[in-house]
Amino acid sequence: MTVNEQPESPTEEYGAMLKRARDAAHLSQAALGEVLSCSESLVGLIERGKRRPTKKFTLAAEAALGLKGDLYRLLPNTTVMATEKWFSEWPGVETKADTIRTWEPLVVPGLLQTPRYAQVLFAAEPGVTEQWREEALATRIQRQSVFQRKDPLMYWVLIDESVLLRPVGGKEVIREQLEHLLKMAEQPNISIQVVPLDVGATAGLVGGFAIAQGEGMRDHVYLEDAAVAGTVSAREEMVRRVRLRYDAIHKWAHPVHVSQRLLREVAATYEDQ
């Protein structure tokens, strides 16, 4: 494909990005095929847009090439699931928001999850189908496009230290996730702070939440529930109470530079010896 040519289809656009990522990693088609346990010819066919990539191939290629959803977003015919009624309002709120402040005591916030980390979480859901898991993953990746806007979302994140220590998916997946957090934290619109374990009890132990603000929209909150459903609300009293809870947790958080150092230290513990 020449510089002036544009991909004619999602499959060709996918293939072009795969080739760029492979070249950047200094891998031949044969070498990438060996890593992905597939043939050199299959890699070539996908790069030329002659073969549709599968979700399994895509996730493996992303891990091998150090991508974080770039290929998955281009996966042809990826179905975005219809969200549950209680949650359906929140993706629209994320799209309109200028700033979101969030707290997570158990897992990495969805907007910062890598595909493999999210896939492991969805696989842990009881009684769901493979199709549901695939559609849930596609929906999560699509929501992360708020960081590709011309005016990207300002995202202020508080996470409990236990999130870093829980080896979701094993050491390879969690190390990739922590490295992704470090990369995202380098962006001027994203702040990640860790609340240390030795704080003990905090106002955030009851569950995660997010507060969204934007010009021309009412402030909204999203409250997680360990049971079946959560809550999305724009009620002033609820927003006020959640904002107070965020402030109460924030006062215990490590400064940004200390949080980043802790992320690097924990990521290092998952490296192969």
pLDDT exceeds cutoff 60 at 105: yes
When pLDDT is cut at 50, 70 and 90, the band that residue 52 belongs to is confident
Residue 169 shares a structural domain with residue 55: no
Would you say the C-alpha torsion 174, 175, 181, 187 has a positive or negative sign? negative
Q: How far is CA 16 from the centre of its chain?
A: 23
Residue 236 shares a structural domain with residue 161: yes
Residue 60 shares a structural domain with residue 191: no
Residue 98 shares a structural domain with residue 195: yes
- Higher-pLDDT residue of 262 and 150 is 262
Q: Region 217-222: what's the mean pLDDT?
A: 94
Please compute Rg for the chain using Cα positions.
20
Whether 121 maps to a domain, the answer reads: no
Q: Is 54 helix (H, G, I), strand (E, B) or coil?
A: coil
Would you say the C-alpha torsion 148, 149, 152, 155 has a positive or negative sign? negative
Average pLDDT score over the chain: 87
Of 20, 44, 74, which marks where a domain is finished? 74
Whether 3 maps to a domain, the answer reads: no
Beta strand spans in 133-197 (E): 154-160, 190-195
- Higher-pLDDT residue of 91 and 88 is 91
Whether 119 maps to a domain, the answer reads: no
| This prediction's pTM | 0.74
**pLDDT score for 70:** 75
Whether 5 maps to a domain, the answer reads: no
Residue 69 shares a structural domain with residue 101: no
**For the chain, how many structural domains are there in total?**
2
**pLDDT score for 197:** 93
Element (H, E) at 161: helix 161-165
When pLDDT is cut at 50, 70 and 90, the band that residue 1 belongs to is very low
In this structure, of 120-134, 152-166, 219-233, the range with the lowest mean pLDDT score is: 219-233
Q: Region 17-41: what's the mean pLDDT?
A: 90
Whether 64 maps to a domain, the answer reads: yes
**pLDDT score for 198:** 93
Q: How far is CA 7 from CA 1, 16, 207, in A?
A: 8, 8, 44
Residue 15 shares a structural domain with residue 101: no
Parent domain of 24: 10-74
Q: Region 239-265: what's the mean pLDDT?
A: 96
Whether 1 maps to a domain, the answer reads: no
Whether 163 maps to a domain, the answer reads: yes
When pLDDT is cut at 50, 70 and 90, the band that residue 224 belongs to is confident
Residue 173 shares a structural domain with residue 220: yes
Q: Is 236 helix (H, G, I), strand (E, B) or coil?
A: helix
**pLDDT score for 228:** 56
Whether 168 maps to a domain, the answer reads: yes
Residue 209 shares a structural domain with residue 263: yes
CATH number of the domain enclosing 35: 1.10.260.40
pLDDT exceeds cutoff 50 at 22: yes
Residue 60 shares a structural domain with residue 182: no
pLDDT exceeds cutoff 50 at 112: yes
Residue 160 shares a structural domain with residue 46: no
Residue 224 shares a structural domain with residue 165: yes
CATH number of the domain enclosing 150: 3.30.870.10
Residue 46 shares a structural domain with residue 150: no
